[in-house]
A and B are shown apart, each in its own frame.
Chain A
Amino acid sequence: MNGCGEREERIEPELTLGELDRDGALTEAIAETHGESRAEFLRKLALGSGALVGVLAAPPPAEAQVSEVAILNYGLGFEYLQSTFYTETERVGTVARMDERRATWARTLGAHERAHVAILRQVLGERAIKKPSFNFGGATETPNSFTRTAVAMEDLTVALLTGQTPRVRTPALLAAFFTLLTVEARHAAWARRIAGFQPVGAPLDQPKTLAQVDRAVASTGFVSTLLPRTTAAGRSPRFTG
């Protein structure tokens, strides 16, 4: 037992967003925050209320033709997702409600992901994609839903980088990707440890294609196409004057 009263070293099935349909762990975590059953939540997703969309709000580039800029931008999209997730969790006060061990983990990963966004934006310059709009739908608002989602997100990041790093041809860029990959792998192990899962799920990490990653992210509904429209042109005010 650790300080949180949780059992450590539990061996759990692979918790990845990509395997959502198989073990439904993330869906359940999200559904729990809505007070809905998994079936009810999935039904609503199927009806479109989750606003399914890929991380870049566009189909991923064809696997065979992907350029280094496209890989960097896809990585940036994913870092936007992660950094916003950790930042929101801290801002809404969920981290403050965690024990010190868990809070340190959450704050550290948030700071790392924000640093990743900063450097990728700098490297890409004007070619950097804009930050999408996110709706985590409550996944950032309870320590349990946050932790479970973080495990899934970090595992998926490792699978993404494992799949894309070999595609990078420029040696210096390849070296930089390795520095990201190793840190994200340690993030994943740390998250698993915090959640009470075995830090390493399998003897070898399985890479995922961009299409697999995109489908996994889309299935969460975290990337929102419904941008709030709070400004209107040409519509007369009805205020008291």
Chain B
Amino acid sequence: MTPRPKQRRRRIRAFVVAAAATGIAAAGVAALADSPAVAPSPPPPRADVDAQALPDPVAPAFTPPKPRSLRSDGVATWAPVRRTVPARLRPEVAAPVVATLMTKTPEETDNIVLVQGREADQDGRLWVKVRIPALPNNVTAWVERSALGGYTVVRTRLEIDVEAMTLTLYRAGRAIFEAPVGVGTAAWPTPKGDFYVRNKLTRFASPFYGPVAFGTSARSRVLTDWPGGGFVGIHGTNAPELLPGRVSHGCVRLRNDDIVRLAELMPVGTPVTIT
């Protein structure tokens, strides 16, 4: 509240009186100090502070680096499926079911999906558009966000050229690994389209697959009764002399040195494009 003029004048007067009293007291002390009969006393506290006499600020032990903007180009996101959930054609509870997503893969690793987008329905329920491991290949569908776990980001992307029989891994848009591959025969073709790496298997007792095998979301259109559902893998081989060539049941085969190197560079969740 702003003081009224009369109150204000009274406060100013009180301040001036107090200041004058302080000055008189200080002068009195000084006069006493000049007297030889009185012992000297310490100087009175000064009303004005000498800023120069104050210490410098303590230097911080650390200073954060300059903040940087986020670079999101060339980034893909995946999430684990945390409960068995219907994947629907549209982001609606009543929409037709495209497939049912399980929490585990045939290899008993956690099932994952590649995140493509999101939308809230009329009730405010959040839906996520995901690429799913189902036939027909290249299919996307909508699942409730609550059925998925936390997101993980990858910066890699794998391209497989069936005609050229080559595989190229990119990170942040730059090619970092390339290798010749074996692909499916005419009877058991390697499916084309957009997929993703679902899991990584190591130390298994099957020389046919080499030392490392990646599972993908791609499925053979022909070998649908294959154990596990006919999923296409990317793996090593015990017949490197056949590579590059059209030699597989649809899987992508690499020489063992190459698959080991690829395993060092490529995380699970990496998008895969087969052309």
Q: Which A residues lie at the B interface, using CB under 8 A?
A: 32-36, 87-88, 90-93, 107-108, 110-112, 114-116, 118-120, 122-123, 133-138, 141-142, 170-176, 178-179, 224, 226, 228-241
Give the chain B neighbours of A135 by CB distance below 8 A: 149-151
Digitize B196-233: 1 where CB-to-A-CB distance is under 8 Å, 0 elsewhere.
00111111111011000101000010010011101111
Instruction: Report yes or no: A240 in contact with B110, Cβ–Cβ below 8 A.
Output: no
Tell me whether A241 and B251 are in contact in the complex, defined as CB-CB below 8 angstroms, given that A142-B126, A232-B108 are known contacts.
yes
Is residue B84 contacting chain A, with contact meaning CB distance below 8 A? no
Closest to A172 in B: B61
Give the chain A neighbours of B232 by CB distance below 8 A: 239-240
Instruction: Report yes or no: B126 in contact with A141, Cβ–Cβ below 8 A.
Output: yes
Instruction: Report yes or no: B220 in contact with A240, Cβ–Cβ below 8 A.
Output: yes
Instruction: Report yes or no: A179 in contact with B60, Cβ–Cβ below 8 A.
Output: yes
Q: How far is the CA of A35 from the CA of B121 in the complex (A)?
A: 9
A26 to chain B, nearest CB (A): 16
Q: How far is the CA of A229 from the CA of B152 in the complex (A)?
A: 12
Q: Which of A107, A179, A241 contacts B63 (CB 8 A)?
A: A179
Instruction: Report yes or no: A233 in contact with B202, Cβ–Cβ below 8 A.
Output: yes
Tell me whether A90 and B70 are in contact in the complex, defined as CB-CB below 8 angstroms, given that A172-B60, A229-B109 are known contacts.
yes
Give the chain A neighbours of B198 by CB distance below 8 A: 230
Give the chain A neighbours of B62 by CB distance below 8 A: 119-120, 122-123, 176
5 contacts across the A-B interface (CB closer than 8 A): A33-B124, A35-B123, A110-B70, A176-B62, A240-B233
Q: How far is the CA of A11 from the CA of B68 in the complex (A)?
A: 33
A156 to chain B, nearest CB (A): 20
Q: How far is the CA of A178 from the CA of B200 in the complex (A)?
A: 46
Instruction: Report yes or no: B70 in contact with A92, Cβ–Cβ below 8 A.
Output: no
Q: Which are the 7 A-B pairs with shortest beta-carbon distances?
A: A35-B125, A239-B233, A238-B228, A135-B150, A111-B67, A176-B60, A172-B61
Closest to B83 in A: A49
Is residue B106 contacting chain A, with contact meaning CB distance below 8 A? yes
Instruction: Report yes or no: A91 in contact with B206, Cβ–Cβ below 8 A.
Output: no
Instruction: Report yes or no: A111 in contact with B68, Cβ–Cβ below 8 A.
Output: yes
Give the chain B neighbours of A107 by CB distance below 8 A: 69-70
Instruction: Report yes or no: A136 in contact with B150, Cβ–Cβ below 8 A.
Output: yes
Q: How far is the CA of A141 from the CA of B107 in the complex (A)?
A: 31
Q: How far is the CA of A178 from the CA of B57 in the complex (A)?
A: 12
Give the chain A neighbours of B271 by CB distance below 8 A: none
Q: How far is the CA of A111 from the CA of B71 in the complex (A)?
A: 11
Q: In residues 255-269 of chain B, which contact A (Cβ within 8 Å)?
A: 268-269
Closest to B153 in A: A91
A189 to chain B, nearest CB (A): 18
Give the chain B neighbours of A231 by CB distance below 8 A: 109, 199-202, 268
Give the chain A neighbours of B51 by CB distance below 8 A: none
Give the chain B neighbours of A134 by CB distance below 8 A: 150
Tell me whether A173 and B206 are in contact in the complex, defined as CB-CB below 8 angstroms, given that A108-B67, A228-B112 are known contacts.
no
Q: How far is the CA of A110 from the CA of B133 in the complex (A)?
A: 33
Most buried by B among A32, A34, A36, A239: A239
Instruction: Report yes or no: B68 in contact with A115, Cβ–Cβ below 8 A.
Output: yes
Instruction: Report yes or no: B201 in contact with A119, Cβ–Cβ below 8 A.
Output: no
Give the chain A neighbours of B269 by CB distance below 8 A: 230
Q: Which of B59, B64, B112 contacts A230 (CB 8 A)?
A: B112
Give the chain A neighbours of B125 by CB distance below 8 A: 34-35
Q: How far is the CA of A170 from the CA of B82 in the complex (A)?
A: 45
Is residue B170 contacting chain A, with contact meaning CB distance below 8 A? no
Instruction: Report yes or no: B65 in contact with A230, Cβ–Cβ below 8 A.
Output: no
Instruction: Report yes or no: A112 in contact with B67, Cβ–Cβ below 8 A.
Output: yes
B141 to chain A, nearest CB (A): 17
Q: How far is the CA of A235 from the CA of B107 in the complex (A)?
A: 7
Instruction: Report yes or no: A114 in contact with B68, Cβ–Cβ below 8 A.
Output: yes
